[in-house]
Structure 1
Amino acid sequence: MKQIFQRYALALFWLAQEENQISEFMNECQQILKIFAKNQDFLQLIKNDALKKEEKKEILSSVFKNEIPSKILYFMNVIVDHHREKYIQEIIEEFIQICLKHLNIKKGTIYSTIPLSDVQIQKMEEKISTLLKSKVILQNQ
């Protein structure tokens, strides 16, 4: 299965690279994943075998048309056309991982008993970025 995710994710990455918009595409895809996470029913609807391809594409278009670049929407439609919509979330996650690697960005999680302020997180990111010689993005849990 991972090969399927990688194949589609790489295709989107090559498109983003060709458009010189890797960061922008990555950010948009992160927003798409947030929408999927907040709306599991929406994600299940897209994955539902009872719906026809055209219906799924119409749903995607109605939700994302003015929210994401048309090329990402077109890519999501290609996923539906090839009957890979069950893996749409995993494909997007794989695309983000490819982008992070290409941009030399490391992600991490800080576990603390009390929530850290944005300033504290930023200071930690800067120190770790210096140590690792790459950009670091941290989230607090």
Structure 2
Amino acid sequence: MSQNVIAERYALALFMLAKEQNLIEDLTVEMRTLKKVLTENPSFLTLLSSPKLTLNEKKNVLQNVFSSVSPTVENTLMLLLDAHRQNEITDVAEAYINLANEESGIADALVYSARPLSSEESHAVSASFAAKVGKRSLNIENIVDTNLLGGLKIRIGNRIFDGSLRGKLDRLERTLTT
């Protein structure tokens, strides 16, 4: 069975519980935090996979690190540990976020710019590009890339909108050389 299928099943179960308890937004925030912590600290998952720790020790570590999460998320984490699927935690968080975004009509977007965007600029990008991908709004993560020279490069799912100066110069170069 594919690893993503497993993560999607756990995420769907968590999402259905969240929907039943009207906690979709709260759990989305928790899952974003969980995903960020695990992505920034990959050695934590290595620790949870260590055969030197017993299952109870792993659960205690997980409970101490994520003590502020809701009981629903904590129970999901414990289920993943019980099933020896601790390496799926990040994928479950990602799949849950995708389900919550789909329910809310929101999409995640990576916006590459030559300088940090102000909140007004972020709102303007969200308003203008959300409609292009059929969503209500965008969750924008701004990444500063000094190689762009100016303009924006936006990635929403598998779609890329390249309005950067670097992209325009590259396209111009390709047209002139062919």
Could you tell me the TM-score, scaled by structure 1's length? 0.89
Distance (whole Å) between structure 2 residues aligned to residue 88 and residue 58 of structure 1: 16
1:56 aligns with 2:58: yes
Q: Work out whether residues 28 and 96 of structure 2, in 8 Å CA contact, stay in contact via their aligned partners in 1.
A: yes
Which structure 1 segments of 5+ residues have no match?
A: none
Over the matched positions of the two proteins, sequence identity in percent amounts to: 29
Shift of 1:48: 2.3
Larger helix share, 1 or 2 = 1
Which structure 2 segments of 5+ residues have no match?
A: 144-178
Could you tell me the TM-score, scaled by structure 2's length? 0.72
Q: Work out whether residues 39 and 90 of structure 2, in 8 Å CA contact, stay in contact via their aligned partners in 1.
A: no
Root-mean-square deviation (Å): 1.6
Distance (whole Å) between structure 1 residues aligned to residue 49 and residue 19 of structure 2: 28
Shift of 1:133: 4.8
1:103 is matched with which residue?
A: 104
Deviations, residues 69-114 of structure 1 (Å, cap 9, x unaligned): 1221111001111111121111111111111111111111222222
Larger strand share, 1 or 2 = 2
Amino acid at match of 1:28: E
1:75 aligns with 2:90: no
Aligned residues: 140
Distance (whole Å) between structure 1 residues aligned to residue 82 and residue 58 of structure 2: 10
Q: Which structure has the bigger radius of gyration?
A: 2
Amino acid at match of 1:15: L
1:43 is matched with which residue?
A: 45
Q: Work out whether residues 121 and 139 of structure 1, in 8 Å CA contact, stay in contact via their aligned partners in 2.
A: no
Shift of 1:45: 1.0
Shift of 1:130: 4.7
Deviations, residues 114-135 of structure 1 (Å, cap 9, x unaligned): 2222221112212333553512
